[in-house]
């Protein structure tokens, strides 16, 4: 497996790898990582789809990419998933998957045309004082000190960031800036989260620095990601003969371990409550998603709070990884990530409006009509209440957000980052609230008059809270080797995929990361002759660095000494500094 960028490899069609007709594949979990791996096995590895089996613990595919209607009538999504144009492996995959919405188009075509017709932009990224604009919205408000600290963090060696929180590198100025509000809410970052991952993020997305305050950097699918990504993928895989076995909790993968040869020899599972398994040969390839941000998710409803379930049971994804990790030090350290559920949890809520009482408040803030129901964006991404105790954000995406959504209902996704802190109207932690209480707090910050809030919250919406205890587990301070490599050294027929497998430079909490690890896994185990696309290379692009200087200063130009500027002006550097607004 090797990386390359550019068109030569992008359009190349790899030939059939040797011996693939004798191989079979077993994929544990049916999140986007496994679905992508199955698709790459077929498309680039020329494996017959009927030789691929996906083993999934639950009754539905898609993992974290969910979207379903609740029996009470509300719609459920655990997350709002932003995409961006630099997701190289995701788009490489989606160009080959037929759209279910647009005839003769791929999922990528459908997505691309949507962005052309309705380019993404937020008209109000933050509000305060119950629905009022924030005068500095759109500016980063980073002091010189905060800018310096970010720059220093970006160039600190990885080893010096091991096991450290970013609050050991960034100070008070940084955490009081708008930059931090935009950042923490977009990526669900806490100040104690991994400095190493923060560095990766800063570098990975440096080209998007000017697109963060107004969210022009991100893009959304037409519907929720279950309908827009998972269903087309699953449909295509099934057409190719791939089998998904639900209600199958894999408990272990057993290995024969020799120093220079590590072979997966058996998969153990519990299916329909019964223990079982499968003996493997070296021709059986196993791909395991060794951790999940939505493991132990628990839903409440409009009248019942969700519960935080911290327990790791037999058959859980964490127990599976623990059992695998016990067999070899190269298989990672799951306990680094899964032992702090009260700190890594995130509470979100899916809210469905039932009448015309709430939408005018949405329109007032977003400056777009949610009832237009034309597939165009409404909030244009996350909108954050700057002065909310829960650090509450909400997103009214393209409506309808579900194909089955009635015309008089609007679906909104809500999250509270500090879900253990008291709210401002509802004086208790978000994670202890019913859907109705969360609706009250949201309406309060939206600017609904206080005396109307109880009745509107009771009658005009269904709100379904969800607690995900491991949602930010991958941001826990760590070392590079806490996560196993996608294919650890000397492993013959096994790969780790998803957010807890290590690949260089890319950043977690993205669909791209899962798809990238899947592609790398397939290309390594089958020795596919084509390159995996390199992680977007903007961190090596001087233009992006110059732009980042200008933007992080809110476009206040640098005053360089006259003699120095005179020297620079005799070079291309002077032109570049001016072109990107640095001087």
Residues tagged active-site? 82, 201
- Which position among 49, 63, 465, 533 is part of the footprint of ligand FAD (CB under 6 A)? 63
Could you give the CA distance from residue 326 to residue 245 in angstroms, rounded to a whole number?
Answer: 26
**Angle made by CA atoms 540, 1, 21, in degrees to the nearest 5:** 150
For ligand FAD, which is the closer residue by CB, 28 or 433?
28
296 is an interface residue for ligand FAD by CB under 6 A: no
Would you say 25 and 41 are in contact if contact means Cβ atoms under 8 Å apart? yes
Residue listed under structure tokens 């990766």: 200
Question: Where in 338-397 is the site for ligand FAD (CB under 6 A)?
Answer: 346, 348
- Which position among 20, 25, 27, 32 is part of the footprint of ligand FAD (CB under 6 A)? 32
Give the tokens for residue 195: 């400095």
Which range, of 53-61, 260-268, 425-433, 570-578, touches ligand FAD by CB under 6 A? 53-61
Could you give the CA distance from residue 277 to residue 297 in angstroms, rounded to a whole number?
Answer: 26
33 is an interface residue for ligand FAD by CB under 6 A: yes
DSSP state of 285: E
28 is an interface residue for ligand FAD by CB under 6 A: yes
Q: How far is CA 532 from CA 116, 267, 357, 420, 470, in A?
A: 27, 28, 50, 41, 29
Min CB(83)–ligand FAD separation in Å: 6
- Which position among 289, 350, 379, 393 is part of the footprint of ligand FAD (CB under 6 A)? 289
The contact pattern for ligand FAD, residues 192-221, with x = CB under 6 A and - = no contact, is: ------------------------------
Strand partners, 38: none
27 is an interface residue for ligand FAD by CB under 6 A: no
What end-to-end distance do the CA atoms of the chain give, in Å?
A: 43
Would you say 352 and 74 are in contact if contact means Cβ atoms under 8 Å apart? yes
Sequence-separated (6 or more) residues with CB below 8 Å from residue 242: 38, 42, 49, 50, 52, 53, 54
503 is an interface residue for ligand FAD by CB under 6 A: no
Helix (H) or strand (E) holding 39: helix 32-43
- Which position among 43, 51, 78, 208 is part of the footprint of ligand FAD (CB under 6 A)? 78
Q: How far is CA 336 from CA 129, 192, 297, 308, in A?
A: 39, 14, 19, 19
Which range, of 176-184, 191-199, 288-296, 564-572, touches ligand FAD by CB under 6 A? 288-296
For ligand FAD, which is the closer residue by CB, 63 or 435?
63
511 is an interface residue for ligand FAD by CB under 6 A: yes
Question: Where in 220-249 is the site for ligand FAD (CB under 6 A)?
Answer: 249
For ligand FAD, which is the closer residue by CB, 140 or 187?
187
Question: Where in 112-141 is the site for ligand FAD (CB under 6 A)?
Answer: none
Binding site for ligand FAD (CB under 6 A): 28-34, 55-58, 63-65, 78-79, 81-83, 249-250, 289, 292-294, 315, 317, 320, 346, 348, 468, 471, 498-499, 509-511, 514
């Amino acid at each position: 497996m090797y990386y390359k960028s550019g068109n030569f490899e992008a359009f190349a069609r790899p030939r059939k790898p040797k011996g693939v007709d004798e191989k079979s594949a077993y994929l544990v979990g049916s999140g986007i990582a496994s679905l992508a791996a199955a698709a790459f096995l077929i498309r680039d590895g020329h494996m017959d789809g009927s030789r691929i089996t996906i083993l999934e613990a639950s009754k539905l595919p898609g993992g974290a990419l969910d979207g379903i209607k609740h029996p009470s009538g509300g719609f459920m999504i655990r997350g709002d998933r932003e995409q961006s144009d630099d997701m190289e492996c995701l788009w490489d995959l989606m160009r080959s998957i037929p759209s279910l919405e647009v005839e003769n188009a791929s999922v990528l075509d459908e997505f691309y045309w949507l962005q052309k017709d309705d380019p993404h932009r937020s008209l109000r990224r933050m509000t305060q004082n119950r629905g009022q604009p924030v005068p500095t919205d759109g500016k980063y408000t980073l002091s010189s000190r905060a800018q310096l600290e970010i720059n220093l963090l970006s160039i600190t060696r990885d080893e010096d960031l091991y096991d450290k929180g970013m609050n050991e590198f960034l100070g008070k100025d940084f955490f009081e800036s708008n930059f931090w509000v935009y950042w923490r809410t977009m990526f669900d970052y806490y100040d104690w989260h991994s400095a190493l991952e923060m560095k990766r993020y800063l570098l990975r997305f440096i080209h998007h620095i000017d697109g963060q305050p107004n969210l022009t950097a991100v893009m959304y699918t037409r519907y929720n990601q279950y309908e827009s990504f998972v269903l087309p993928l699953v449909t295509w895989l099934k057409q190719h003969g791939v089998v998904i076995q639900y209600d199958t909790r894999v408990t272990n993968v057993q290995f024969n371990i020799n120093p220079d040869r590590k072979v997966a020899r058996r998969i153990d599972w519990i299916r329909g409550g019964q223990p079982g398994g499968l003996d493997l040969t070296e021709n059986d390839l196993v791909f395991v998603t060794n951790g999940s941000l939505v493991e132990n998710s628990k839903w409440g409803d409009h009248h019942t709070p969700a519960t935080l379930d911290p327990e790791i049971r037999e058959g859980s994804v964490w127990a599976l990884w623990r059992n695998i990790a016990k067999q070899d030090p190269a298989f990672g350290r799951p306990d680094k990530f899964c032992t702090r559920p009260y700190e890594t949890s995130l509470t979100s809520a899916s809210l469905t409006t039932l009448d015309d009482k709430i939408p005018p408040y949405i329109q007032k803030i977003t400056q777009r009509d949610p009832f237009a129901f034309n597939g165009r964006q409404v909030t244009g991404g996350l909108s954050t209440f700057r002065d909310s105790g829960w650090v509450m954000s909400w997103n009214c995406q393209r409506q309808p957000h579900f194909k089955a959504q009635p015309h008089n209902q609007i679906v909104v996704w809500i999250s509270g980052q500090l879900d253990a802190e008291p709210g401002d109207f509802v004086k208790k932690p978000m994670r202890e609230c019913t859907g109705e209480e969360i609706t009250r707090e949201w309406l309060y910050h939206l600017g609904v008059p206080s005396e109307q809030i109880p009745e509107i919250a009771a009658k005009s919406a269904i709100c379904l809270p969800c607690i995900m205890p491991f949602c930010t587990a991958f941001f826990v301070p760590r070392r590079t080797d806490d996560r196993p490599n996608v294919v650890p050294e000397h492993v013959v027929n096994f790969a780790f995929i998803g957010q807890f497998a290590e690949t260089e430079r890319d950043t977690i909490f993205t669909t791209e990361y899962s798809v990238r690890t899947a592609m790398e896994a397939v290309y390594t185990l089958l020795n596919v002759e084509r390159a995996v696309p390199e992680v977007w290379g903007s961190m090596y692009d001087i233009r992006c660095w110059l732009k980042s200087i200008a933007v992080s200063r809110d476009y206040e130009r640098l005053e360089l000494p006259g003699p120095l500027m005179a020297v620079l002006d005799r070079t291309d550097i002077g032109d570049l500094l001016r072109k990107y607004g640095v001087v």
